[in-house]
Amino acid sequence: MQDNTLVNSSFSSTIHVPIEKVDIPAWCFGLSESEYQSCSPAHVSAGVTRAPDGRRMSINIEVLGGSPMVQHYVEEIAEPHHLRLVSKSDVFTPTGRVKVDVIWDLSVKKIDADTCEFTNVVHSSFTPELLDSLAKQGIPQEVFQAARKPVSEAHNRQETPLFAKSIERHALGRRKEGK
């Protein structure tokens, strides 16, 4: 079986609250647009709705490497210390709109009584539609992957500590002011 991974990145950051106060799904599905925007300059907008089957969905819009993305993250695992979301995301490229499969996996683990470690994993995969679009343009899969990887990893590296601070504020009952 062929690996269809486009990019897989994982970064961690410390949250300075007891793990018992952390509820990642409550944070994610209660995230205001301004709070989402404060976690990266690439973040444009965020909202919450429901998938056709009733599961919660976080819709995020961001611009990575000059390409706007609309992510439709549907909850797959929703536990206080672990949230796994899956999306068939729209990417708007100069040659048109294509789909990319994305898994966004957020988790915390206890370090000690007052701190925990937050891990933000983003795994994107080629879809047949994306592969077809690249083939029509004569762009080898490896070339596209090599260009996309540093952009995706830089974004995840930047947003992870800011998400951790946002989760910390949520756990302490404080929202970011402004924006």
Q: pLDDT tens digits, residue range 116-133?
A: 999 999 999 999 999 999
**HSE-up (13 A, CA, CB side) for residue 97:** 7
Are 144 and 133 spatial neighbours (Cβ–Cβ below 8 Å)?
no
| Beta-sheet strand order (sheet of 96-112) | 5-15, 115-125, 96-112, 82-93, 67-79, 56-64, 43-50
């952390």: which residue's tokens? Answer: 22
Tell me: pLDDT of 175 over 70: no
Confidence tier at 174 by pLDDT (50, 70, 90): low
- The whole-number average pLDDT for the span 132-139 is 94
Q: Amino acid identity, residue 95?
A: T
Tell me: pLDDT of 16 over 70: yes
Q: What angle do CA 68, 178, 106 make, to 5 degrees?
A: 55
Nearest Cα neighbor of 89 from 3, 2, 1, 6 is: 6
pLDDT of 176: 54
């950051």: which residue's tokens? Answer: 13
* Any domain includes 179: no
* Any domain includes 176: no
pLDDT of 132: 94
* Any domain includes 138: yes
Q: What domain range includes position 63? A: 5-171
Confidence tier at 97 by pLDDT (50, 70, 90): very high
pLDDT of 177: 46
CATH code of the domain containing 107: 3.30.530.20
Q: What is the pTM of this model?
A: 0.92
* Any domain includes 131: yes
> Which of 16-20, 68-72, 94-98, 134-138 bottoms out in mean pLDDT, i.e. has the lowest?
94-98
* Any domain includes 86: yes
Tell me how far apart the alpha carbons of residues 91 and 74 are, in angstroms, rounded to a whole number: 17
* Number of domains, the chain: 1
